[in-house]
Amino acid sequence: MTHDTIVILDFGSQFSQLIARRVREAKVYSELLSWTTPAEKVLALNPKGFILSGGPNSVYEAGAPTLPRYVLESGLPVLGICYGMQLLAYNLGGKVAASQKREYGPADLQVDVVDSLLFRDWEIGRLRDSISQSPNLNQVWMSHGDKVEQLPPGFRPLAHSDNSPLAAATDVARRYYAVQFHPEVAHTPQGSTVLRNFVVEICGCTPDWTPASFIEEQVGVIRAQVGDGRVVLGLSGGVDSAVAAALIHRAIGDQLTCIFVDHGLLRQGEALQVVATFEREQGMHLIAVNAIEEYLEALAGITDPEQKRKIIGEKFVRIFEREAQKLGQIDFLAQGTIYPDVIESAGKDKKDARVIKTHHNVGGLPEDMDFELVEPLRLLFKDEVRQLGVALGLPESLVWRQPFPGPGLAIRCLGEVTWERLERLRLADAIFVEELRGAEMLKWGTQQAFAVLLPVKSVGVMGDGRTYQEVIALRAVTTEDFMTADWARLSYDLLARVSRRIVNEVSGVNRVVYDITSKPPGTIEWE
């Protein structure tokens, strides 16, 4: 099965991946490529339209990213966003200049041409005021220092804001569209409508990019690649490797062997769930290795987080190699690489996007390992991976598991990693997650929530006795894309229950604190 494709050219915007995600949400396949990508590679995708992303440059600066010639020569529809709008106008004879008043943040958009295809189904809402708490459907998100002052010949304006008289424009005959705002971000409530109108109504794409169609397509691709060969996959217990394993197993059955290394650094019950799900329920050939003692010995006395990461990654490589060699002839290595990994790797290595990331599911396998890669998820975003997991019949408790660092609890156990401290952290984390789930805050109310064990002690009083014990920090964030995040406004009653339970039920802890740092300036994880 082939799908219509939209190519998004990246000019350096921090929101470029969001454009691709929004187009995918409209059930249209999209690929995000650098504006420097060779024309033959781009056109080989047989795109039905182009979207030009935003970017930090000014189009008239020396050395600024330029519009590839093939975009206009293709005769295909084009949507320019922010810098993309300015680039389109600049190349077609318009005028772009620095704005007297830079515009960063929310703005109210007035759609002037309501019958434009780009704004079809755009709902006109009342403006936000100091009394109403209803969302402002006219709101868009601006982020620009330059703006189009004069449209190119053939263009007409479609919308304006107080500071942008030309906030949207079109040349209908050539199917060129441009918007100064960012339709891809959550702060533009109706942005998805604009993107869907462009890819479906203007480009004519069929919205058939669904989990079911992807499974059908990838089963054929995997079978064609693997043939009669044997595949090994390092199963981490995370969402990506789990879904990759389920998809590959559906395609080739017992030709797949999964190796699960239990390093003792997973959350409560996760090791048992991996074995139960994949060996018993899914019927996969699974090798479960108990390596807890090996990891604890290697981590003894280590407190530096980077050292922890390197030790854990190196240890996994050695154990994985050891177990893989026992299997005899193995032809393919499967990984749960997903699209953001591919994009990030391509940014670091323009010649080859298929580098094995050192922090990915298999812990950074050496490049000289004699395996061909099988990466069936490399075109999917995380939300698409979850949808695929549900379609493949994996349990929701696994599919909707919140993000978990590759080194596991070792980097949430600040200071030295010991079995006693891991168990302390594991139980505190389980209590927090259980209470969040009971309050229906785990799946939708927070995008990542966990406990951290701090290497500091504080004085407390329990009963008639004085205590001097460790501190648990709770972290819960809300985020759209994990590039930025805000701390979750959990209720005081919920936090009180969690604190009370941890202090009462977790031996060695007498104090609980809640992290209210956003990202930036902080990170989501503590290490």
Does position 60 have pLDDT exceeding 80, yes or no? yes
Does position 126 have pLDDT exceeding 60, yes or no? no
User: What local confidence, expressed as pLDDT, does residue 442 receive?
Assistant: 85
Measured between alpha carbons, how far is residue 456 from residues 5, 213, 299, 462, 470 in Å?
53, 52, 19, 18, 6
Ranking 53-67, 369-383, 428-442 by mean pLDDT, the lowest is: 369-383
User: What local confidence, expressed as pLDDT, does residue 138 receive?
Assistant: 86
Cβ-based burial of 466 (10 A; exposed 0-12, middle 13-18, buried ≥19): exposed
Does position 235 have pLDDT exceeding 80, yes or no? yes
Maximum mean pLDDT: which of 55-59, 256-260, 359-363: 256-260
Does position 123 have pLDDT exceeding 60, yes or no? yes
Measured between alpha carbons, how far is residue 292 from residues 97, 113, 270, 406 in Å?
61, 65, 14, 16
Contact 37, 45 (CB under 8 A): no
Strand order in the sheet with 256-262: 285-290, 256-262, 231-235, 332-334, 372-374
Contact 363, 316 (CB under 8 A): yes
DSSP string for 409-430: GGGTB-S---HHHHHHHHHHHH
Cβ-based neighbour number of residue 340 at 10 Å:
17
Summarize pLDDT for 61-95 with one digit per residue, the tens.
899 999 999 999 999 999 999 999 999 999 999 99
Share the mean pLDDT of the chain.
89
User: What local confidence, expressed as pLDDT, does residue 102 receive?
Assistant: 67
Does position 467 have pLDDT exceeding 80, yes or no? yes
Summarize pLDDT for 468-481 with one digit per residue, the tens.
999 999 999 998 76
Does position 369 have pLDDT exceeding 60, yes or no? no
Give every CB contact of residue 73 below 8 A, 6+ residues apart in sequence.
none
The catalytic residue positions are 82, 182, 184
Tell which wins on pLDDT, 350 or 138. Answer: 138
Summarize pLDDT for 266-310 with one digit per residue, the tens.
999 999 988 988 888 888 999 999 999 999 999 999 999 999 999
R_g of the chain computed on alpha carbons: 26
Does position 4 have pLDDT exceeding 70, yes or no? yes
User: What local confidence, expressed as pLDDT, does residue 347 receive?
Assistant: 56
Contact 65, 22 (CB under 8 A): no
Rounded-to-integer distance, Cα 149 and Cα 97, Å: 7
Please tell me the pTM assigned to this model.
Answer: 0.78
Rounded-to-integer distance, Cα 417 and Cα 301, Å: 7
